[in-house]
Homo-oligomer: A and B are copies of this chain.
């Protein structure tokens, strides 16, 4: 809460991220009370030794995460002290599992290289005839199977994935070290019936319902780096979203439109 707190590298680089991280911690630890009020922007600015604009930038992040309200004329109010997962926890099964204290596992069932079909070319923005790498992995939490993951990689990424040992837990971490960055993702969530492979791997009956998440991930340049389809056993996970008039990131659509 003091200037000293900013000296710690609690967040990368920019001032407003540090302020946001500090405020986030203060909020979730209950410093302002459950439905309490935040100090005024001006007071925070003085406290952190930054301009009001920087404080507003930090508060906008907390606003988007649903931690605080923001309303002209009144101090900001603490909405909830619930922990908010970071982006990477959503993107990486491994990272997510570890942040919950569970032990993530993964077993590569198959990895094939073949020409991309029309849908894959569309999603990964590839030229006709381009080859893709397709993986099928069973994912476990503390030993119990929870998810089947089918991922299609473009050549540049797939070549690196193919080099990885079959028992490597995380794919995204070694990819990051090779300069493949994951910065944006579009997710679609619905329900499907388990096929024969799903049933065999997850130990459920064929036709039993699975929670499906389809995801296209891109790097900072907007180039697709992965197109994945994950199928979860019901009861193991749920997806949670916050949106607001101020900053929305969620939409709902019918099956046909995708």
Give me the interface of A with B, judged by CB distance under 8 Å.
Answer: 35, 61, 64-66, 69, 71, 74, 77-80, 84-87, 89-90, 96, 100, 125, 183-192, 208-211, 218, 220-222, 234-255, 258
Contacts and interface: CB of A to CB of B under 8 A. Distances in A.
| Interface SS of A by simple majority | mixed
B239 A183 contact: no
Contact of A209 (B35, B209, B237): B209
B253 A185 contact: no
Number of copies: 2
A240 B64 CA distance: 17
Given A69-B221, A90-B250, A189 B35 contact: no
Most buried by B among A80, A90, A186, A249: A249
B184 A64 contact: no
Nearest to A185: B243
A157 to B, nearest CB: 18
A195 to B, nearest CB: 15
B191 A245 contact: no
A239 B84 contact: no
A252 B71 contact: no
A119 to B, nearest CB: 16
A192 to B, nearest CB: 8
A183 B252 contact: no
Contacts of A243: 87, 90, 184-185, 187, 249
A238 B211 contact: no
B187 A222 contact: no
Given A183-B245, A249-B249, A209 B191 contact: yes
Contact of A242 (B185, B235, B246): B185
